[in-house]
Structure 1
Amino acid sequence: MPEIKGRVEALFITPKGENISKPIEGGIFTNEGLIGDRHFGVTMLSNSRTPEFQRGAIIRNRRQVSLVSQDELDATAKELDIDEIKPEWLAANLLISGIPHFSQLPVGARLFFDGGLVLFNDGENFPCKIPAKTVQNQYKHKEGIQEKFIKAAMHRRGLVAWVEHPSQLISPSTFEVELPPVWKNLWG
Protein backbone atom coordinates (compact mmCIF):
# COMPACT_ATOMS: atom_id res chain seq x y z
CA MET A 1 0.00 0.00 0.00
CA PRO A 2 1.37 3.46 -0.85
CA GLU A 3 2.33 5.75 2.00
CA ILE A 4 0.12 8.74 2.66
CA LYS A 5 2.25 11.82 3.18
CA GLY A 6 1.31 15.44 3.66
CA ARG A 7 2.86 18.80 4.35
CA VAL A 8 2.11 21.40 7.01
CA GLU A 9 2.00 24.72 5.15
CA ALA A 10 1.11 26.96 8.11
CA LEU A 11 0.23 26.97 11.81
CA PHE A 12 -2.38 29.10 13.56
CA ILE A 13 -3.70 29.77 17.02
CA THR A 14 -7.18 30.98 17.95
CA PRO A 15 -7.22 33.04 21.15
CA LYS A 16 -10.05 32.46 23.63
CA GLY A 17 -13.19 34.35 22.73
CA GLU A 18 -12.20 34.79 19.08
CA ASN A 19 -13.35 33.05 15.89
CA ILE A 20 -10.43 33.96 13.63
CA SER A 21 -7.03 32.35 14.13
CA LYS A 22 -3.66 34.07 13.88
CA PRO A 23 -0.53 32.73 12.15
CA ILE A 24 2.33 31.41 14.30
CA GLU A 25 5.73 30.02 13.27
CA GLY A 26 5.60 27.14 15.71
CA GLY A 27 3.53 25.76 18.52
CA ILE A 28 3.88 23.55 21.55
CA PHE A 29 1.38 20.72 21.68
CA THR A 30 0.78 18.96 25.00
CA ASN A 31 -1.72 16.23 25.83
CA GLU A 32 -4.16 19.10 26.36
CA GLY A 33 -3.74 20.49 22.84
CA LEU A 34 -2.01 23.54 21.38
CA ILE A 35 -0.88 25.84 24.20
CA GLY A 36 -2.72 29.16 23.99
CA ASP A 37 -5.51 27.97 21.70
CA ARG A 38 -9.18 28.35 22.63
CA HIS A 39 -9.71 24.57 22.32
CA PHE A 40 -6.88 23.76 24.76
CA GLY A 41 -7.86 21.23 27.42
CA VAL A 42 -8.38 17.54 28.08
CA THR A 43 -12.09 18.08 28.62
CA MET A 44 -14.72 20.40 27.19
CA LEU A 45 -18.37 21.16 27.74
CA SER A 46 -20.79 19.39 25.40
CA ASN A 47 -22.53 21.60 22.85
CA SER A 48 -24.60 21.41 19.66
CA ARG A 49 -21.93 19.20 18.04
CA THR A 50 -22.39 16.56 20.76
CA PRO A 51 -26.18 16.09 20.98
CA GLU A 52 -25.78 12.65 22.57
CA PHE A 53 -24.90 14.47 25.82
CA GLN A 54 -26.91 16.95 27.84
CA ARG A 55 -25.65 20.41 26.87
CA GLY A 56 -22.92 21.56 29.24
CA ALA A 57 -21.84 18.06 30.33
CA ILE A 58 -18.09 17.58 30.83
CA ILE A 59 -16.77 15.32 28.06
CA ARG A 60 -13.41 14.42 26.48
CA ASN A 61 -12.11 17.17 24.23
CA ARG A 62 -11.92 15.60 20.79
CA ARG A 63 -11.48 19.03 19.16
CA GLN A 64 -8.06 20.02 20.51
CA VAL A 65 -6.67 20.63 17.03
CA SER A 66 -8.39 21.68 13.79
CA LEU A 67 -6.78 20.82 10.45
CA VAL A 68 -7.79 22.06 7.00
CA SER A 69 -6.53 21.31 3.49
CA GLN A 70 -5.53 24.01 1.02
CA ASP A 71 -6.99 21.96 -1.86
CA GLU A 72 -10.34 21.67 -0.09
CA LEU A 73 -10.42 25.36 0.83
CA ASP A 74 -9.76 26.19 -2.83
CA ALA A 75 -12.53 23.84 -4.01
CA THR A 76 -15.00 25.37 -1.55
CA ALA A 77 -14.06 28.91 -2.61
CA LYS A 78 -14.53 27.96 -6.26
CA GLU A 79 -17.97 26.53 -5.54
CA LEU A 80 -18.91 29.75 -3.72
CA ASP A 81 -17.47 31.83 -6.57
CA ILE A 82 -15.09 33.76 -4.32
CA ASP A 83 -11.35 34.34 -4.57
CA GLU A 84 -10.26 32.40 -1.50
CA ILE A 85 -11.07 31.03 1.92
CA LYS A 86 -8.26 31.57 4.38
CA PRO A 87 -7.68 28.96 7.10
CA GLU A 88 -7.78 31.74 9.68
CA TRP A 89 -11.43 32.41 8.83
CA LEU A 90 -12.27 28.83 9.89
CA ALA A 91 -10.26 29.13 13.14
CA ALA A 92 -7.96 26.35 11.87
CA ASN A 93 -4.73 25.35 13.62
CA LEU A 94 -2.95 23.56 10.76
CA LEU A 95 -3.09 24.16 7.02
CA ILE A 96 -1.99 21.05 5.18
CA SER A 97 -1.45 20.05 1.56
CA GLY A 98 -0.69 16.91 -0.41
CA ILE A 99 -3.51 14.57 0.63
CA PRO A 100 -6.55 14.37 -1.68
CA HIS A 101 -9.91 14.14 0.12
CA PHE A 102 -8.16 15.01 3.39
CA SER A 103 -11.42 15.64 5.27
CA GLN A 104 -12.50 12.09 4.57
CA LEU A 105 -9.58 10.36 6.26
CA PRO A 106 -11.16 7.74 8.53
CA VAL A 107 -11.64 8.22 12.25
CA GLY A 108 -8.72 6.59 14.01
CA ALA A 109 -6.11 7.62 11.45
CA ARG A 110 -2.97 8.83 13.20
CA LEU A 111 -0.86 11.69 11.86
CA PHE A 112 2.88 11.46 12.63
CA PHE A 113 4.64 14.83 12.27
CA ASP A 114 8.31 15.72 11.98
CA GLY A 115 9.63 16.25 15.48
CA GLY A 116 7.43 13.64 17.14
CA LEU A 117 3.94 15.14 17.39
CA VAL A 118 1.20 12.55 16.85
CA LEU A 119 -2.43 13.56 16.34
CA PHE A 120 -5.36 11.13 16.49
CA ASN A 121 -8.06 11.93 13.93
CA ASP A 122 -11.44 12.08 15.60
CA GLY A 123 -13.33 12.80 12.39
CA GLU A 124 -14.64 15.46 10.09
CA ASN A 125 -15.09 19.01 11.29
CA PHE A 126 -18.54 19.56 9.84
CA PRO A 127 -19.30 23.07 8.58
CA CYS A 128 -21.33 25.36 10.80
CA LYS A 129 -22.76 28.87 10.95
CA ILE A 130 -19.88 30.61 12.73
CA PRO A 131 -17.25 30.19 9.97
CA ALA A 132 -20.00 30.72 7.37
CA LYS A 133 -20.63 34.15 8.86
CA THR A 134 -16.89 34.88 9.05
CA VAL A 135 -16.42 34.06 5.36
CA GLN A 136 -19.46 36.15 4.44
CA ASN A 137 -17.98 39.10 6.37
CA GLN A 138 -14.87 38.94 4.17
CA TYR A 139 -17.06 39.34 1.05
CA LYS A 140 -19.70 41.82 2.19
CA HIS A 141 -20.27 42.92 -1.41
CA LYS A 142 -21.38 39.39 -2.42
CA GLU A 143 -24.63 38.17 -0.90
CA GLY A 144 -25.56 34.55 -0.20
CA ILE A 145 -22.19 33.11 0.83
CA GLN A 146 -23.27 32.48 4.41
CA GLU A 147 -26.32 30.51 3.27
CA LYS A 148 -24.34 28.42 0.74
CA PHE A 149 -21.23 27.78 2.84
CA ILE A 150 -22.40 24.73 4.78
CA LYS A 151 -23.34 22.79 1.64
CA ALA A 152 -20.24 23.94 -0.27
CA ALA A 153 -17.88 23.01 2.59
CA MET A 154 -19.45 19.63 3.40
CA HIS A 155 -16.74 16.92 3.41
CA ARG A 156 -14.16 19.68 2.78
CA ARG A 157 -14.09 21.44 6.16
CA GLY A 158 -11.12 19.51 7.54
CA LEU A 159 -10.61 17.31 10.56
CA VAL A 160 -10.60 17.60 14.33
CA ALA A 161 -8.00 15.72 16.31
CA TRP A 162 -6.54 15.30 19.76
CA VAL A 163 -2.91 15.02 20.81
CA GLU A 164 -1.74 11.45 21.28
CA HIS A 165 1.97 12.28 21.65
CA PRO A 166 3.04 15.83 22.58
CA SER A 167 5.82 17.76 20.87
CA GLN A 168 6.66 21.06 19.28
CA LEU A 169 5.66 21.66 15.65
CA ILE A 170 7.04 24.23 13.25
CA SER A 171 5.95 25.18 9.78
CA PRO A 172 6.69 24.09 7.15
CA SER A 173 7.08 20.42 8.00
CA THR A 174 5.84 17.05 6.81
CA PHE A 175 3.78 14.22 8.25
CA GLU A 176 2.67 10.68 7.47
CA VAL A 177 -0.75 9.14 7.98
CA GLU A 178 -1.20 5.71 9.55
CA LEU A 179 -4.62 4.29 8.74
CA PRO A 180 -6.54 2.00 11.08
CA PRO A 181 -6.01 -1.61 9.92
CA VAL A 182 -9.61 -2.02 8.72
CA TRP A 183 -9.14 0.88 6.25
CA LYS A 184 -5.76 -0.08 4.77
CA ASN A 185 -7.31 -2.05 1.91
CA LEU A 186 -9.90 0.63 1.16
CA TRP A 187 -7.80 3.81 1.24
CA GLY A 188 -4.77 4.63 -0.80
Structure 2
Amino acid sequence: MRKPAIKLKGTVAGLYRTEGKGFVTSSVDGLDLGFDGIAADAHGGPTRKTGGREPWYPRGTEIRNERQLSILSLNELAEIAETLAIPELRPEWIGGNLTLEGLPRLSELPPRTLLFFENGVTIKIDGDNGPCRLSGRSIAQHYPERTDIEFGFVKAAQHKRGLVAWVEKPGSISLGEAFEARLPEQWIYDPNEPR
Protein backbone atom coordinates (compact mmCIF):
# COMPACT_ATOMS: atom_id res chain seq x y z
CA MET A 1 0.00 0.00 0.00
CA ARG A 2 1.34 3.41 -0.95
CA LYS A 3 0.79 6.61 0.98
CA PRO A 4 0.80 9.85 -1.03
CA ALA A 5 3.33 12.63 -0.55
CA ILE A 6 2.27 15.25 2.01
CA LYS A 7 3.38 18.67 3.28
CA LEU A 8 3.56 19.75 6.92
CA LYS A 9 4.53 23.07 8.51
CA GLY A 10 6.67 23.81 11.55
CA THR A 11 9.02 26.27 13.20
CA VAL A 12 12.58 26.24 14.49
CA ALA A 13 12.50 26.06 18.29
CA GLY A 14 16.26 25.89 18.90
CA LEU A 15 19.62 26.05 17.13
CA TYR A 16 22.89 24.59 18.44
CA ARG A 17 26.48 23.97 17.37
CA THR A 18 29.59 22.39 18.82
CA GLU A 19 32.41 24.38 20.36
CA GLY A 20 35.66 22.51 20.07
CA LYS A 21 36.05 18.79 19.42
CA GLY A 22 33.26 17.15 21.44
CA PHE A 23 29.76 16.41 20.23
CA VAL A 24 27.98 18.41 22.97
CA THR A 25 26.48 21.61 21.51
CA SER A 26 25.70 25.14 22.70
CA SER A 27 22.64 27.25 21.91
CA VAL A 28 22.97 29.92 19.18
CA ASP A 29 20.55 32.37 17.50
CA GLY A 30 21.40 31.32 13.95
CA LEU A 31 23.25 28.72 11.90
CA ASP A 32 25.15 29.28 8.68
CA LEU A 33 24.99 26.08 6.64
CA GLY A 34 27.14 25.14 3.68
CA PHE A 35 27.36 21.96 1.63
CA ASP A 36 29.64 20.63 4.41
CA GLY A 37 27.05 21.34 7.11
CA ILE A 38 27.94 23.75 9.92
CA ALA A 39 31.44 25.18 9.37
CA ALA A 40 33.95 23.89 11.96
CA ASP A 41 31.26 21.78 13.68
CA ALA A 42 32.25 18.34 15.01
CA HIS A 43 29.77 16.67 12.61
CA GLY A 44 30.52 18.86 9.59
CA GLY A 45 32.36 17.93 6.43
CA PRO A 46 31.61 16.19 3.14
CA THR A 47 32.82 12.84 4.50
CA ARG A 48 33.13 11.11 7.86
CA LYS A 49 34.79 8.06 9.41
CA THR A 50 32.73 4.96 10.11
CA GLY A 51 32.11 3.65 13.62
CA GLY A 52 29.84 1.17 15.36
CA ARG A 53 26.82 2.25 13.30
CA GLU A 54 28.38 0.79 10.12
CA PRO A 55 29.53 -2.74 11.03
CA TRP A 56 29.79 -3.64 7.34
CA TYR A 57 32.95 -1.46 7.05
CA PRO A 58 36.13 -1.54 9.11
CA ARG A 59 36.03 1.25 11.71
CA GLY A 60 37.57 4.44 10.39
CA THR A 61 36.58 3.89 6.75
CA GLU A 62 35.91 7.22 5.03
CA ILE A 63 32.35 7.51 3.68
CA ARG A 64 29.97 10.30 2.60
CA ASN A 65 28.69 12.34 5.54
CA GLU A 66 24.92 11.95 5.72
CA ARG A 67 25.04 12.88 9.43
CA GLN A 68 25.92 16.59 9.15
CA LEU A 69 22.97 17.65 11.32
CA SER A 70 21.13 16.20 14.30
CA ILE A 71 17.46 17.23 14.43
CA LEU A 72 15.41 16.76 17.61
CA SER A 73 11.88 17.25 18.93
CA LEU A 74 11.35 18.93 22.30
CA ASN A 75 8.27 16.74 22.81
CA GLU A 76 10.23 13.54 22.21
CA LEU A 77 13.03 14.73 24.51
CA ALA A 78 10.41 15.32 27.23
CA GLU A 79 9.06 11.79 26.69
CA ILE A 80 12.57 10.34 27.02
CA ALA A 81 13.18 12.37 30.20
CA GLU A 82 9.90 11.09 31.66
CA THR A 83 10.84 7.48 30.87
CA LEU A 84 14.25 7.99 32.49
CA ALA A 85 12.60 9.77 35.47
CA ILE A 86 14.83 12.84 35.13
CA PRO A 87 13.68 16.50 35.31
CA GLU A 88 14.97 17.45 31.85
CA LEU A 89 16.94 16.34 28.82
CA ARG A 90 18.49 19.23 26.92
CA PRO A 91 19.21 18.96 23.18
CA GLU A 92 22.76 20.23 23.78
CA TRP A 93 23.62 17.22 25.97
CA ILE A 94 23.12 14.80 23.08
CA GLY A 95 24.60 16.92 20.29
CA GLY A 96 21.43 18.40 18.79
CA ASN A 97 21.75 21.04 16.06
CA LEU A 98 18.07 21.89 15.51
CA THR A 99 14.93 21.43 17.57
CA LEU A 100 11.74 21.67 15.57
CA GLU A 101 8.11 22.23 16.56
CA GLY A 102 4.95 21.37 14.67
CA LEU A 103 5.79 17.88 13.42
CA PRO A 104 4.19 15.05 15.39
CA ARG A 105 6.50 12.04 15.94
CA LEU A 106 9.44 13.84 14.32
CA SER A 107 11.72 10.79 14.60
CA GLU A 108 9.37 8.84 12.32
CA LEU A 109 9.76 11.17 9.33
CA PRO A 110 10.85 9.00 6.41
CA PRO A 111 14.17 9.23 4.61
CA ARG A 112 14.14 11.62 1.63
CA THR A 113 11.90 14.10 3.48
CA LEU A 114 12.93 17.64 2.54
CA LEU A 115 12.76 20.57 4.97
CA PHE A 116 12.38 23.90 3.15
CA PHE A 117 13.17 26.84 5.46
CA GLU A 118 11.66 30.25 4.71
CA ASN A 119 15.07 31.94 4.31
CA GLY A 120 16.08 29.48 1.58
CA VAL A 121 17.90 26.57 3.24
CA THR A 122 16.90 23.02 2.28
CA ILE A 123 17.83 20.04 4.46
CA LYS A 124 17.37 16.42 3.39
CA ILE A 125 16.56 13.77 5.99
CA ASP A 126 18.73 10.67 5.79
CA GLY A 127 16.86 8.76 8.50
CA ASP A 128 16.31 8.27 12.20
CA ASN A 129 19.21 8.59 14.63
CA GLY A 130 19.73 5.46 16.70
CA PRO A 131 20.39 6.20 20.40
CA CYS A 132 23.85 5.35 21.71
CA ARG A 133 25.66 4.99 25.03
CA LEU A 134 27.82 8.05 24.29
CA SER A 135 24.71 10.24 24.47
CA GLY A 136 23.55 8.34 27.55
CA ARG A 137 26.92 8.98 29.19
CA SER A 138 26.62 12.70 28.41
CA ILE A 139 23.17 12.85 30.04
CA ALA A 140 24.40 10.87 33.06
CA GLN A 141 27.01 13.56 33.77
CA HIS A 142 24.12 15.87 34.71
CA TYR A 143 22.67 13.27 37.09
CA PRO A 144 25.75 11.77 38.78
CA GLU A 145 23.66 10.01 41.44
CA ARG A 146 22.07 7.85 38.69
CA THR A 147 24.08 4.88 37.42
CA ASP A 148 21.37 3.58 35.09
CA ILE A 149 21.14 6.45 32.59
CA GLU A 150 24.02 5.56 30.26
CA PHE A 151 22.41 2.26 29.26
CA GLY A 152 18.83 3.31 30.06
CA PHE A 153 18.92 6.10 27.49
CA VAL A 154 19.44 3.64 24.62
CA LYS A 155 16.17 1.87 25.44
CA ALA A 156 14.21 4.99 26.47
CA ALA A 157 15.15 6.88 23.28
CA GLN A 158 14.36 4.10 20.80
CA HIS A 159 12.48 5.70 17.86
CA LYS A 160 12.55 9.10 19.66
CA ARG A 161 16.21 10.11 19.22
CA GLY A 162 15.50 12.41 16.29
CA LEU A 163 16.90 12.44 12.79
CA VAL A 164 20.17 12.87 10.96
CA ALA A 165 20.28 15.01 7.84
CA TRP A 166 22.51 16.81 5.38
CA VAL A 167 22.44 20.19 3.68
CA GLU A 168 20.98 20.11 0.18
CA LYS A 169 20.81 23.91 -0.32
CA PRO A 170 23.05 26.18 1.81
CA GLY A 171 22.13 29.38 3.59
CA SER A 172 21.24 30.59 7.07
CA ILE A 173 18.60 29.39 9.54
CA SER A 174 17.29 31.65 12.32
CA LEU A 175 15.56 30.90 15.60
CA GLY A 176 11.76 30.97 15.14
CA GLU A 177 11.99 30.55 11.37
CA ALA A 178 9.15 28.70 9.65
CA PHE A 179 9.72 25.69 7.41
CA GLU A 180 7.75 23.24 5.31
CA ALA A 181 8.41 19.49 5.47
CA ARG A 182 7.71 17.67 2.21
CA LEU A 183 7.34 13.96 2.82
CA PRO A 184 7.79 11.72 -0.22
CA GLU A 185 5.33 9.06 -1.31
CA GLN A 186 5.81 6.10 1.06
CA TRP A 187 5.34 2.36 1.00
CA ILE A 188 6.62 -0.74 2.75
CA TYR A 189 8.84 -2.77 0.45
CA ASP A 190 7.98 -6.45 0.36
CA PRO A 191 9.81 -8.49 -2.33
CA ASN A 192 7.08 -11.16 -2.14
CA GLU A 193 4.15 -8.82 -2.65
CA PRO A 194 2.87 -8.58 -6.24
CA ARG A 195 2.66 -5.17 -7.86
Normalised by the size of structure 1, how large is the TM-score?
Answer: 0.92
Counterpart in the other structure of 2:131: 127
Deviates more, 1:47-56 or 1:162-171: 47-56
Unmatched 5+ residue regions in structure 1? Answer: 184-188
Distance 1:181 1:156 in 2: 22
Distance 1:18 1:147 in 2: 20
The counterpart of 2:120, out of the listed 116, 120, 126, is 116
What displacement does 1:6 show? 1.6
Counterpart in the other structure of 1:51: 55
Distance 2:118 2:20 in 1: 27
- Within the alignment, does 1:18 sit opposite 2:22 as a pair? yes
Letter in 2 for 1:27: L
Distance 1:78 1:136 in 2: 15
Q: CA contact under 8 A between 1:27 and 1:35: conserved in structure 2?
A: no
Distance 1:28 1:141 in 2: 38
Give the number of the structure whose alpha-carbon radius of gyration is greater.
2
Letter in 1 for 2:40: G
Counterpart in the other structure of 1:91: 95
Letter in 2 for 1:15: E
Counterpart in the other structure of 2:77: 73
What displacement does 1:4 show? 1.1
Letter in 1 for 2:87: D
Distance 1:107 1:2 in 2: 14
SS in 2 for 1:73: helix
Identity of aligned residues (%): 37
Distance 1:40 1:103 in 2: 21
SS in 2 for 1:150: helix
What displacement does 1:181 show? 2.3
What displacement does 1:2 show? 6.1
The counterpart of 1:27, out of the listed 13, 19, 31, is 31
Deviates more, 1:141-150 or 1:70-79: 141-150
Distance 2:38 2:31 in 1: 7
Distance 2:113 2:27 in 1: 26
**1:32-43 paired onto structure 2 within 5 Å:** 32-43=36-47
What is the aligned-residue RMSD (CA, Å)?
1.4
The aligned length equals 183
Distance 1:61 1:117 in 2: 18
What displacement does 1:100 show? 1.1
Distance 1:2 1:106 in 2: 11
Detail structure 1 runs of 4+ shifted over 3 Å in the superposition: none
